């Protein structure tokens, strides 16, 4: 019997297995991560971050990321397995992020997962990174089930989606230019802050006032799209003008004014979408979802309209492997996601396919 024939047979039996144990690997950007979940219970969650290395360059350098994933992955997987208290034999399936992300970085995780699955004759489950960001919410709140509206705001994507079922997602709106996280990172760089910019902007904004004039893209619009490039350019122009004139300016005020506009756009779209769709659940996903101003705005508005708000704890907003195991769990329950040993990394994988 070939590897895939055996994997298909095993996978079919996992559909109804209680306490399904999944080992998941994530390596799409600058975190090498591995987690083991038993059902929706987190047994281990190991993340080896490369942030300190990429900080030196002001952003992620793909080639350096791939190399560091190669160095870290074996250690990270072994640690996650050991901390889970499970043996490799007890693992039911191996899950891996196969897209979207940096190609070289993805290849490291995919190759490792394929080798592990083949050697142990276990099913391999291919997971879409963005769907993982959404699915981590099922682990955080066991009562959450579709249907709901979800705001996804990460370094590469910003969208409002309608989650009809665990793997059936309708895009209601998305960014027409930069992703929200990308804008946070670029504005941070202009203000001389280090990578990743989101948490730095958030910290600086806490001491600032919303007093610097900035555009309000798509105000009072009826669609759910976003635009961040105008906001980003407004910050760049403001800073350059001040610097060229040799004038002082308050960086905290710039950070606060930018953060206010950036988060208001997300909040307006998300709440309007939930209300128009007639759902009483709003889910937040992705790295920018860690932002406290965004969370506060959403909480205030959601309460007004009796919408229940769900978001992961800060450490599960940014990249991790728990989210990949969570989506793999949902897929396995539906009998979907099984991959053969020829699985390829797909840097351009559409976020909701």
Binding residues vs ligand KG4 (CB under 6 A): 29, 133, 154-156, 181, 184-185, 196-199, 202, 286-288, 290-291, 318-319
* Three-class SS state of 319: coil
The residues, ordered by sequence, that sit 6+ positions from 285 with a Cβ below 8 Å of its Cβ are 130, 133, 134, 136, 137, 150, 151, 152, 153, 154, 311, 312, 317
Residue selected from 259, 268, 301, 319 as contacting Zn ion according to rule CB under 5 A:
319
Task: Compute the least distance from the CB of residue 117 to ligand KG4, in Å.
Answer: 24
- Which partner from the list Zn ion, ligand KG4, none does 149 bind, CB cut-off 5 to 8 Å by kind? none
The whole-angstrom separation of Cα 279 and Cα 12 is 33
**With respect to ligand KG4, which residue has the nearer C-beta, 21 or 234?**
234
The binder of 167, among ligand KG4, Zn ion, none, by C-beta within 5 to 8 A per type, is none
CB of 252 to ligand KG4, least distance (A): 15
Beta bridge partners, 184, equal: none
CB of 88 to Zn ion, least distance (A): 27
Nearer to Zn ion, 42 or 91 (CB): 42
As given in the structure block, the two tokens for residue 253 are: 């005020």
Out of ligand KG4, Zn ion, none, which partner does residue 337 contact, by CB within 5 to 8 A per kind?
none
Task: Give the nearest distance from C-beta 54 to ligand KG4 in angstroms.
Answer: 12
The 3-state DSSP class for residue 245 equals: helix
Considering just the CA atoms, what is the radius of gyration of the chain in Å? Answer: 21
**Distance in Å, CB of 306 to ligand KG4, minimum:** 27
Kindly identify the residues of this chain, within the stretch 143-202, that bind Zn ion according to CB under 5 A. Answer: 154
Rounded to 5 degrees, φ, ψ at 154 are: -130, -170
What is the residue-wise DSSP string for 100-162? SS-HHHHHHHHHHHHHHHHHHT--EEEEEHHHHHHHHHHHH-TT--S-EEEEEE-SS-EEEEE
Q: Which does 68 bind (CB under 5 to 8 A by kind): Zn ion, ligand KG4, none?
A: none
User: How far from 318 is each of 17, 139, 229, 285, 323, CA to CA, in Å?
Assistant: 30, 15, 22, 9, 10
Considering the complex, what minimum distance in angstroms separates the CB of residue 202 from Zn ion?
Answer: 17
3-state secondary structure of 175: strand
C-beta of 185 vs 268, nearer to ligand KG4: 185
Cβ distance to ligand KG4 smaller for residue 123 or 132: 132
Q: Which does residue 239 bind out of ligand KG4, Zn ion, none, counting CB within 5 to 8 angstroms by kind? A: none
Could you give the strand order of the β-sheet that contains 308-310, starting from the edge strand earlier in sequence? 168-174, 158-165, 148-153, 281-285, 308-310
* CB neighbour list of residue 315: distance below 8 Å, 6 or more residues apart: none
Q: Which residue's CB is nearer to ligand KG4, number 109 or number 287?
A: 287
Give residues 198-237 in contact with Zn ion (rule: CB under 5 A): none
Shortest reach from residue 156's CB to ligand KG4, in Å: 5
Contacts for 351 with CB less than 8 Å, ≥ 6 apart: 100, 128, 129, 130, 131, 152, 157, 159
Residue whose CB is less far from ligand KG4, 119 or 206: 206
Q: Which is nearer to Zn ion, 155 or 337 (CB)?
A: 155
Q: Which residues bind Zn ion (CB under 5 A)?
A: 154, 319
């Amino acid at each position: 019997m070939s590897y895939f024939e055996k994997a298909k047979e095993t996978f079919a039996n996992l559909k109804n297995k209680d306490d399904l144990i999944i080992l998941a690997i994530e390596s799409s950007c600058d975190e090498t991560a591995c987690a083991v979940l038993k059902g929706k219970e987190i047994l281990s969650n190991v993340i080896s971050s490369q942030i300190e290395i990429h900080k030196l360059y002001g952003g992620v350098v793909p080639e350096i990321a791939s190399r560091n994933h190669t160095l870290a992955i074996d250690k990270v997987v072994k640690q996650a397995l050991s901390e889970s208290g499970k043996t490799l034999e007890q693992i039911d399936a191996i899950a891996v992020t196969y897209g979207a992300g940096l190609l070289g970085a993805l290849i490291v995780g995919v190759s490792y997962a394929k080798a592990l699955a083949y050697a142990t004759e276990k099913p391999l489950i291919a997971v879409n990174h963005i769907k993982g960001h959404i699915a981590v919410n099922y682990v955080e709140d066991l009562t959450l089930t579709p249907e709901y509206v979800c705001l996804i705001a990460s370094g590469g994507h910003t969208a409002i989606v309608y989650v009809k079922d665990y793997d059936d997602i309708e895009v209601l709106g998305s960014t027409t230019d930069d992703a929200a996280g990308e804008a946070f990172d670029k504005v941070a760089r202009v203000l001389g802050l280090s990578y990743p910019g989101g948490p730095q902007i958030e910290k600086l904004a806490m001491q600032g006032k919303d007093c610097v004039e900035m555009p309000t893209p798509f105000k009072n619009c009826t669609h759910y799209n976003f635009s961040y490039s105008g906001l980003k350019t407004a910050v760049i122009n403001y800073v350059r003008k001040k610097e060229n004139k040799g004038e002082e300016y308050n960086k905290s005020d710039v950070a606060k004014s930018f953060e206010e506009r950036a988060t208001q756009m997300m909040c307006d779209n998300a709440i309007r979408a939930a209300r128009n769709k007639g759902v009483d659940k709003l889910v937040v996903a992705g790295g920018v979802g860690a932002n406290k101003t965004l969370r506060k705005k959403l909480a205030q508005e959601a309460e007004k309209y009796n919408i229940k708000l769900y978001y992961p704890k800060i450490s599960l907003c940014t990249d991790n492997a728990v989210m990949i195991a969570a989506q793999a769990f949902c897929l396995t329950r539906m009998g979907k996601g099984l991959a053969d040993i020829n699985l390829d990394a797909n840097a351009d994988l559409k976020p909701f396919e």
